[in-house]
Amino acid sequence: MSARVRTGLDRIAQGDESVLRRLRGRRVGLCAHPASVDSQLRHARCVLHDAGVTVHKLFGPEHGYGGEAQDMISVRDGAPDGTQDVPVYSLYGSSEADLSPSVEQLAGLDVIVIDLQDVGARYYTFVWTAVLVLRAAAKAGIETIVLDRPNPLGGEVVEGAPQRAGYRSFVGLCDVAVRHGMTLGELCKRAQRSEGIDSAALHVVGMQGYRRDMDFAATGLPWVLPSPNMPTLDTARVYPGGCLLEGTNLSEGRGTTRPFEIWGAPALDAAALARAVHAEGCTLRPLSFTPTFHKHATQRCFGVQVHVTDPRVFRSYALYLRLIAQARRRCAGAFAWRTEPYEFVTDRPAIDLLTGGPEFRSLVEADLPIDEWLAHDDAAAQAFGAERSVDLLY
């Protein structure tokens, strides 16, 4: 079945001159990853080459241009296989400064093309790499062209309030809802507008045939894992909630074949937890598993797999918050918040960065109900959903 949606890259592949005339004859940089493919699974660099566009420099986000690195692992500059004929620069190194392209890395470019598949959650870092590239390129007088792609979760539902003051980080450089319902192009447009970046510094190549009510399955496009632990669309569907587990010592299922869907810990009473939490649009199936790496590696864990049965009503953010609260209540002696540095932040707990403030953690630590806070949080998310309209392209 052919794709119903044409991405920005597909427009280049199909010879759209309105896009190509912005690129031909110019010195082009490309920021991409393994999911930067057209509807025929050809990578962006090949598509640009076949269209007569020469790429002079390559840039890779977190996990690297080739997508081999695990989460929060620094990636060195250089070709992933040693055979690239152009330099490959990492935008995820050993310090926060490495997240932005340097003046030297941008030198000699006329335009930088960004083609990154996002997954629709504030903490998925590719969109913030795009924003940082936009900022640096604009400062250097270089145009940024974003080849837009679908938000896999669709564009109508929003979940999770924007961050409170003081909680911006690489899992949320700009204040947006957790499940924001925006495309990468829309989020870059929002950053350009809100930060006063010259409008000429950004051009978004919009999709054709895309509607906000589409999730990824409706687009007809092929799914390519954009990062090592995002293997399927089902993973993306649970991720706005599942990523919250990174703020705890609970395994988020890294080291299994279904990360973020499968999660747990050695001391968890999985069956009791599954009975304690009501979930719409999914089934919580108790299970045991042994992660091959990451948290609790080689230890038998007990937990649940979140099987999404109806994506239209499934809301992962509130579900996983309730699951975490119940997990702490049921194994408080073995439960802990993550205290190690998280995305280059050392002075605030990871769970606070993920939820956008300390409120959730404080309630859970006091063993207080979270329902009222969840209602306020959802109201703030819906307010964002209305306010974002000025930046929507579809």
User: In the chain, which ranges are continuous DSSP H helix?
Assistant: 8-13, 17-20, 44-50, 103-106, 126-139, 184-194, 216-219, 233-242, 270-276, 316-330, 350-355, 359-365, 371-387
Are 315 and 226 a contacting pair, CB within 8 Å?
A: no
- Among residues of the chain, what percentage have pLDDT more than 70? 98
pLDDT in tens, 225-255: 999 999 999 999 999 999 999 999 999 999 9
pLDDT in tens, 348-359: 999 999 999 999
Task: For the chain, give every domain's residue range.
Answer: 8-228, 233-357
Q: Which two tokens stand for residue 39?
A: 């509807």
What pLDDT score does 5 carry?
Answer: 97
Is 1's pLDDT higher than 80? no
What pLDDT score does 101 carry?
Answer: 98
Is 292's pLDDT higher than 90? yes
Is 69's pLDDT higher than 80? yes
The contacts of residue 234 (CB under 8 Å, 6+ apart) are 258, 261, 308
How far apart, in whole angstroms, are the C-alpha atoms of residue 153 and residue 107?
Answer: 36
How far apart, in whole angstroms, are the C-alpha atoms of residue 3 and residue 19?
Answer: 20
pLDDT in tens, 149-180: 999 999 999 999 999 989 999 999 999 999 99
Summarize the confidence of residues 363-379 as an average pLDDT. 97
- Among residues of the chain, what percentage have pLDDT more than 90? 94
What pLDDT score does 331 carry?
Answer: 86
Report in angstroms the alpha-carbon separations of 2 from 9, 46, 218, 221, 240: 15, 20, 11, 8, 29
CA atoms within 13 A on the CB side of 331: 21
Pick from 122, 377, 130, 128: nearest CA to 244: 122
Are 152 and 119 a contacting pair, CB within 8 Å?
A: yes
* Interstrand relation of 143-147 and 111-115 (parallel, antiparallel or unpaired): parallel
pLDDT class of 80 with cuts at 50, 70, 90: low
What pLDDT score does 332 carry?
Answer: 75
Summarize the confidence of residues 276-291 as an average pLDDT. 96
What pLDDT score does 85 carry?
Answer: 85
What pLDDT score does 83 carry?
Answer: 57
pLDDT class of 282 with cuts at 50, 70, 90: very high
Helix (H, G, I), strand (E, B) or coil at 186: helix
The contacts of residue 33 (CB under 8 Å, 6+ apart) are 60, 61, 63, 64, 65, 66, 67, 116, 117, 126, 226, 227
CA 239 from chain centre, in angstroms, equals 9
Query: For the ranges 8-12, 296-300, 329-333, which has the lowest average pLDDT?
Result: 329-333
Q: Which two tokens stand for residue 147?
A: 């080849």
pLDDT in tens, 9-57: 999 999 999 999 999 999 999 999 999 999 999 999 999 999 999 999 9
Burial 139-156 (b: 16+ CB within 10 A, else e): ebebbbbbbbbbbbbbbe
How far apart, in whole angstroms, are the C-alpha atoms of residue 392 and residue 394?
Answer: 6
Is 365's pLDDT higher than 70? yes
Q: Which CATH number fits domain 233-357: 3.40.50.2300, 3.90.1150.140, 3.30.365.10, 3.30.420.40?
A: 3.90.1150.140
Q: Which two tokens stand for residue 168?
A: 């911006």
What pLDDT score does 393 carry?
Answer: 98
Summarize the confidence of residues 195-217 as an average pLDDT. 97
The contacts of residue 171 (CB under 8 Å, 6+ apart) are 122, 123, 125, 128, 342, 343, 353, 354
Pick from 393, 261, 259: nearest CA to 314: 261
What pLDDT score does 2 carry?
Answer: 63
Is 91's pLDDT higher than 60? yes
CATH architecture, domain 8-228 = 3-Layer(aba) Sandwich (3.40)
User: In 96-206, which ranges are continuous DSSP H helix?
Assistant: 103-106, 126-139, 184-194
Beta strands, E only, 193-238: 202-205
Summarize the confidence of residues 133-145 as an average pLDDT. 98
Are 262 and 256 a contacting pair, CB within 8 Å?
A: yes
User: Is there a common fold for 8-228 and 233-357?
Assistant: no
The model's pTM is 0.96
CA angle 196, 198, 13 (to 5 degrees): 125
What pLDDT score does 82 carry?
Answer: 61
Average pLDDT taken over every residue of the chain: 96
